[in-house]
Structure 1
Amino acid sequence: MPETDSSFRRPDLLRLDYDTYRALPAVANSDLSRLRDALEGRAPRPQSSSNEGALGFGTAFHTALLEPDDYVAGQPGLNDTLVWWLVEGVKLNSQLNRLLEEGIPEASVLFTEPTTDTLCKLRADLIVDRPDQPFTVIDFKTTMARDADQFLWQCSAYDYDRQAAFYTDALHAERFLLVGVQKVEPFGVFSIEVSEQMLAEGRSKYQRLLRLLKAPATAPAYRAEAVQAAVDALGLSEEE
């Protein structure tokens, strides 16, 4: 994490619904994933609002865990019993349960990334900001990982390290926890405190993509068209 500047003021935590957050004209970590996909030759990801189509399992789990009053049971194709089973599994962990009780869920943040001067945004699962504790960001992931070691591998392979660095740097967080929740038996919960090495690797990833967003013409020639299309699709290109 960058050295703490005594003059630094953390950006405000905003309470926005998901569709309002998505409409903010700023770069999110998910936008960087779309740019990465273009750079690596993967198929473009569909963009959808929170109320389009059947509710995804991960979204349902996050709602039940973080905003239970907003949970709507009986959605097509959704196993409500399993969702709440996973929630209870998280809460059986005394440390995580305490963080859930003390934290601020689903806070949105707008900030300018300083190395590229890019307006960015994030939406954190949970933020704990208490005077007697390190400023902590927690992100929950449903996973098919068979154990904690495989989940740790996924953190790098799925670019969770990039998300951790993106959020940590924006908020000058002192601690970032990635929590993997198995959605199949034995329904384990893996809590990983992101290391400085993981943050450094993730920081390199997000800064590289932000530089590419600013200058898509620097992409390799064989990916230039796809990268430019991804940048155009984000609707964030700077006017000449």
Structure 2
Amino acid sequence: MPESDSTFRRPDLLRLDYDTYRALPAVANSDLSRLRDALDGRPPRPQTSAGDGALSFGTAFHTALLEPNDYVAGQPGLNDTLVWWLVEGVKLDSRLNELLALGQPEVSVLFTEPQTDTLCKLRADLVVDHPDQPFTIIDFKTTMARDADHFLWQCAAYDYDRQAAFYTDALHAERFLLVGVQKVEPFGVFTIEVSEQMLAEGRQKYQRLLRLLKAPATAPAFRAEAVQAAVDSLGLGGPEE
């Protein structure tokens, strides 16, 4: 669990471009996904940057929703009409529309995870720090989930619970909302307030992976080489003393 609220000061919310954030020498949730993939025997994920060419649909949707002035229409392979249709669907939800109006989009945070003393970073879709609202983090996911129950299942299967715990603990957020936006008909919007049980399960996941990052030799022997390669690829200078 995070340290006592009485001794905690929330880290600053930073406005950084994506590539500057990526270059920060700290561990991100996506880095933990690479360690998980190594443990599971999956192939390494390609590294990406904002300048890699055609945007993914999810990236385009996030830009249109959270930083619409930065949206560039006509990108190869993107259906601009569909992107803006999904944005409109989110804004039709009055509660989400209010949070979008109150929140700070695409903020970056540097923090030290206390259980493993690891320098970490995160980039949140939306943070709402407003007197009339609980301190809230919102993360938007485009999804092929059939319905809300299917999306809830995906939250654990895709380790969204780990992300929620990683972010919640870093900022001592009072609420974390996962918003699934269907990118196929009927284009539903599913909002899940992450439960304490989900946070506890996600916390176990991220702390286990951070411990592995500190001590990759503790990985099972048949995965040791892949795990060490994943740790080396992070370029963080190896485990701290």
| Secondary structure of the structure 2 residue equivalent to 1:125 | strand
In structure 2, the partner of 1:165 is 165
| Secondary structure of the structure 1 residue equivalent to 2:9 | coil
Q: Is the 8 A contact 1:15 1:106 kept in 2?
A: yes
CA–CA separation in structure 2 for the residues paired with 1:231 and 1:211: 12
TM-score normalised by length of structure 1: 0.98
In structure 2, the partner of 1:38 is 38
TM superposition shift of 1:131: 1.6
CA–CA separation in structure 1 for the residues paired with 2:165 and 2:123: 14
TM superposition shift of 1:51: 1.4
| Secondary structure of the structure 2 residue equivalent to 1:120 | strand
| Secondary structure of the structure 1 residue equivalent to 2:7 | coil
In structure 2, the partner of 1:238 is 239
Aligned CA RMSD, in angstroms, stands at 1.1
Q: Which ranges in structure 2 are unaligned for 5 or more consecutive residues?
A: none
In structure 2, the partner of 1:63 is 63
Matching of residues 150-189 of structure 1 within 5 Å: 150-189=150-189
Number of aligned residue pairs: give it: 240
Identical residues among aligned pairs (%): 88
CA–CA separation in structure 1 for the residues paired with 2:2 and 2:228: 31
Q: Which ranges in structure 1 are unaligned for 5 or more consecutive residues?
A: none
TM superposition shift of 1:4: 4.6
Amino acid at match of 1:61: F
Amino acid at match of 1:238: P
Q: 1:239 to 1:208 in 2, by over 3 A?
A: closer
In structure 2, the partner of 1:25 is 25
* 1:77-116 Cα deviation digits (max 9, x unpaired): 0000000000000000000000000000000000000000
CA–CA separation in structure 2 for the residues paired with 1:190 and 1:95: 12
TM-score normalised by length of structure 2: 0.98
Corresponding position: 1:145 with 2:136: no
In structure 2, the partner of 1:122 is 122
CA–CA separation in structure 2 for the residues paired with 1:147 and 1:18: 31
